[in-house]
Amino acid sequence: MNKHVRKHKPARRSPFLLTAIFVLPLSLIAAFSLSPDVGELTEKAALLSAMVNMPEGSIALLESRFADKIDESYYREGENQVASYVEPFDDDEGADSQAPSEESAPTSSAPESMDGPAKTTDPSPARDNSHQISEEYRGTILQENMSGSGTNLIAYGEGLLRNYTELPADEIESIMEQGMNIHLEDTPEPQVLIFHTHATESYEPYDSENYDMRNTWRSTDNTNNMIVVGDALEQALKDAGIGVIHDRTQHDYPSYNGAYERSAETIKSYLEKYPTIKVALDVHRDAIQREEDLIVKPTIEVDGKKAAQLMIITGSDDGTMNVPKWRENLRFAASLQDAIEQDTPQLTRPIFFCYRKYNMDLTTGSLLLEFGSNANTLDESVYTAQLVGKSLARLLNENRETQQDVEK
């Protein structure tokens, strides 16, 4: 077991709030000098604030956009705010309603079996730059291996955790070192639930160096959004003999607000119907924007094929969130990441450990999984889901509850 800790002072909320207080007004002033359009001004101010606070991840973008509107209740229950990269749907879905192109269509084949860890490398250059975008709408995609990026990093096994709480590193370590907490039963009943609070999140259509800045990366077409990623994860678990339910409800459509409240009701209904469920996985994708016209694509190559990097999110409780068993979720997160990294080194980004709830109060095996970012392609994220599903299945099957355990 790797016990090395990168000693950094745990992140606190106060710097974020101070930054929001001072940077946001300055950002607004700067934006007003650049454009007369009020909507555009708001977007530019939010983006500048997000870049300064924490230029990585949709969580940072969300908080930065609404920094001047957030009160203390946000940190307890406020996970239903509109993410900054989301725009309202039009009545006519347009291009979002079309079937995915051949370049972006996911493959259905499972990853090849491997005797040892998969061979991984940093991503090769973009492979499709034939689709031209008008210069005024052209943004840049930056491919990046983010497996060891960030500060406040704590090691466990083959994985890393990024600490955004005030908990000391040694306390987090002691929790993770307790090991796997989920033990499947010998039953054909479902024990894993896959669902999507933000099902309509989608990806870039091509593995390109550029993107169209008008893209909202949302689609109600279930062959072109997070449902497909969930399908791949579901199939990998079923192939390993694990009972799984994949709920395909679009909790974020037609309204993004309230999505977490709606997905909570879905989880509760399944737990009531199937008390055998031990694991609840909320499948998303991230959004990483570092400049107004630059988005980041967390990517590696696995056996010569590009894969979107996964980020696991698990929450703590600062006494305001009513998640008394968050330590159990943390143990599961650490065990899962270790298993994935054993099989496919560098497939994961550090675990995002933060003061968030995300319905993690409903089971002791609740995690939020971010498959790539909006800059990845659907095909890349489906490949990752296949790899992650294989590692998750191995972990769960290795920790099945035996009859002897039941008798004890």
pLDDT, one tens digit per residue, over 281-329 is 999 999 999 999 999 999 999 999 999 999 999 999 999 999 999 999 9
> Does some domain include residue 42?
no
pLDDT score for 403: 41
Is pLDDT of 269 > 50? Answer: yes
Give burial (CB, 10 Å; 0-12/13-18/19+) of 113.
Answer: exposed
**DSSP H helical ranges for 241-323:** 259-273
Classify each residue of 199-213 as buried b or exposed e, where b means 16 or more C-beta atoms within 10 Å of its C-beta.
bbbbbbbbbbbbbee
Q: What is the pLDDT of residues 141-165, one digit of tens each?
A: 999 999 987 788 999 999 999 999 9
**CATH code for position 148:** 3.40.630.40
pLDDT score for 97: 30
> Does some domain include residue 124?
no
C-alpha span between 264 and 402 (Å, rounded): 31
> Does some domain include residue 115?
no
> Does some domain include residue 11?
no
Tell which residue, 190, 188, 141, 154, has the closest CA to residue 314: 154
Is pLDDT of 211 > 70? Answer: yes
Q: What is the pLDDT of residues 315-371, one digit of tens each?
A: 999 999 999 999 999 999 999 999 999 999 999 999 999 999 999 999 999 999 999
Helix (H) or strand (E) holding 291, with range, is: strand 289-291
Contact status, residue 310 vs residue 373, Cβ threshold 8 Å:
no
Cα 14 to chain centroid distance, Å, stands at: 25
Contact status, residue 314 vs residue 369, Cβ threshold 8 Å:
no
Per-residue pLDDT band for 118 (boundaries 50, 70, 90) equals very high
Contact status, residue 345 vs residue 159, Cβ threshold 8 Å:
no
Query: Range of 298's domain?
Result: 135-397
> Does some domain include residue 315?
yes
Mean pLDDT of the residues in the chain: 79
Q: Which tokens in the block code for residue 318?
A: 């600062």
Give burial (CB, 10 Å; 0-12/13-18/19+) of 82.
Answer: middle
Per-residue pLDDT band for 116 (boundaries 50, 70, 90) equals confident
SS3 readout for 337-389: HHHHHHHCCCCECCEEEECCCCCCCCCCCEEEEEEEECCCEHHHHHHHHHHHH
C-alpha span between 356 and 354 (Å, rounded): 6
pLDDT score for 6: 36
Strand partners, 377: 204
> Does some domain include residue 64?
no
Q: How many CB atoms lie within 10 A of CB 34?
A: 10
Per-residue pLDDT band for 19 (boundaries 50, 70, 90) equals very low
> Does some domain include residue 273?
yes
pLDDT score for 405: 56
Angle at 164 between CA 158 and CA 168, to 5 degrees: 75
pLDDT score for 126: 96
How many folded domains does the chain comprise?
1
Question: In Å, what is the CA distance from 329 to each residue of 21, 56, 282, 313?
Answer: 33, 23, 13, 10
Q: At what angle do helices 378-398 and 326-343 cross, to 10 degrees?
A: 110
Is pLDDT of 131 > 60? Answer: yes
pLDDT score for 137: 96
Q: Whole-model pTM?
A: 0.76
> Does some domain include residue 130?
no
pLDDT score for 149: 77
Cα 84 to chain centroid distance, Å, stands at: 15
pLDDT score for 152: 84
pLDDT score for 341: 98
Contact status, residue 357 vs residue 273, Cβ threshold 8 Å:
no
C-alpha span between 371 and 199 (Å, rounded): 12
